[in-house]
Structure 1
Amino acid sequence: MDASFLGIDDLAKTPSVAVVVDVMRAFTVAAWAFAQGAEKIVLSGSLDESLALKARNPEWVTLKDGPPAPGFDAVNSPALLRSVDLRGRTVVQKTTAGTVGALAVKDAPLVLCASFVVAEATAEVLRADGSDSVTFVVTGEDGKAEEDLACAQYIARRATGAGADAAGFLRRAAESRAAFELAEGVRQGAHPEDVALCLELDRFAFAMVATPEDSLMVLRPHTAPSSAGHGPA
């Protein structure tokens, strides 16, 4: 498998397979939303779009980066979201990097959204797909976020069936700028346990696949055949 690792602005063409990585915190939060029972996640392009979707669908749950804000039900924190009952709900998610990256590759035939908590399940989907070329979109810090790059490289290794010691990749993520800023409270809308939750390897046995639905980019959990019986939990 030919793997490339690009920032959002480096995407010159639509890839055949895209894995959009945001460890801290968009796609860790998305996985937790599914674990809490969410049916689907609408990846929003702007705060205004999120509010418009909420106005048309008051029962939907809106979340964003940063501190709480009028019109939004939650913030982009896995620790704060894990106690929220989302059974059967639709979540609208807008973040600084993760959702932007997913929308940038919305025309790709296969779009996976990933973080460490769904790493192996994501690798399973890639192995089953058998594509010769996979583009990993490193969303944070203009493609330089160490936690996202480490996760992308780890998934790429696992997707080829190669043995990979996760410890080194997780250590790089733990020592990243994003981890420091979350731990020190630099980023608003965070919880002290967010970093630890973002570094839980394979916490969930499902991958997350994004597809266009009615002009929206919608993320849903996907259980690989070899993981049957281990859906969102």
Structure 2
Amino acid sequence: MDARFLGIAALVETPPVAVVVDVMRAFTVAAWAFGQGAEKIVLAESLDEALELKARHPDWLALKDGPPAPGFDAVNSPGLLRSVDLGGRTVVQKTTAGTVGALAVKESSLVLCAGFVVAEATARLLSTRRSDTVTFVVTGEDGQADEDLACAQYIARRVTEAETDSAEFLRRAADSRAAAELAEGVRQGVHPDDVELCLELDRFPFAMVATLEGSLMTLRPHEAV
């Protein structure tokens, strides 16, 4: 498998297969939402679109980066979301990097959204699809976020080398700027356990597949076989 690692701005053409990585915290949060029973996650283009979708569907849960805000039900924190019962509900998610990266490759034939918490399931799905070329979209810090790059490289390695040790990849993520900002309270809408939860390898048994359903990019869990 030819693995390519690109930031969002470097996506000059639509890749056939894309894995969009946002470890801290969009796709860790998405995985927790499914773990808490959510049926699907709609990836919004903007905060305004998220609020419009919420207005049209009052039973949907709207979630954003940063501090709590009027109209939104939750913030982009796995530590805060893990206590919320989302059984059968739809979540609308808008974040600074993760959702932007997924929407940038919405025309790809296969789009997976990933973090360490779904790494193994993501690698297994890629392996079963036997794609010749996979583009990993490193969403944070204009493609330079080491937690996202480490996770992308780990997943890529797991596709071809089943015995790959996760320790060095997790260490890089733990030492990343994003981890420091979360731990030091630089970012808002944070739970003290967020970094630990973002680094919990293979916490969930599913991959997450994003597809266009009508005009909406929609994320759903996919049990890896």
Give the TM-score normalised by structure 2: 0.99
% identical equivalent positions: 79
Question: Are 1:43 and 2:43 an aligned pair?
Answer: yes
- Contact (CA 8 Å) 1:50, 1:62: kept in 2 or not? yes
Aligned residue pairs: how many? Answer: 225
- Contact (CA 8 Å) 1:139, 1:145: kept in 2 or not? yes
- 1:78 paired residue number: 78
Whole-angstrom distance in 2 between the partners of 1:203 and 1:21: 16
- Contact (CA 8 Å) 1:157, 1:163: kept in 2 or not? no
1:126 partner SS: helix
- 2:189 paired residue number: 189
1:186 partner SS: coil
- Contact (CA 8 Å) 1:37, 1:87: kept in 2 or not? yes
1:103 partner SS: helix
Whole-angstrom distance in 2 between the partners of 1:163 and 1:109: 29
Whole-angstrom distance in 2 between the partners of 1:153 and 1:218: 25
- Contact (CA 8 Å) 1:146, 1:173: kept in 2 or not? yes
**Deviation string, structure 1 residues 161-193 (Cα, Å, up to 9, x no partner):** 343110000000000000000000000000110
How much has 1:79 moved relative to structure 2? Answer: 0.3
Task: Please tell me the residue identity of whatever aligns with 1:195.
Answer: V
How much has 1:214 moved relative to structure 2? Answer: 1.6
- 1:217 paired residue number: 217
Task: Please tell me the residue identity of whatever aligns with 1:129.
Answer: R
2:210 partner SS: strand
Task: Please tell me the residue identity of whatever aligns with 2:144.
Answer: K
After TM superposition, the structure 1 = structure 2 runs for residues 108-119 of structure 1, keeping only pairs within 5 Å, are 108-119=108-119
After TM superposition, the structure 1 = structure 2 runs for residues 17-166 of structure 1, keeping only pairs within 5 Å, are 17-166=17-166
How much has 1:160 moved relative to structure 2? Answer: 1.4
1:218 partner SS: strand
4+ aligned runs moved over 6 Å, structure 1? none
How much has 1:34 moved relative to structure 2? Answer: 0.1
1:222 partner SS: strand
> Which residues of structure 2 form unaligned runs of 5+?
none
Whole-angstrom distance in 1 between the partners of 2:187 and 2:220: 27
Give the TM-score normalised by structure 1: 0.96
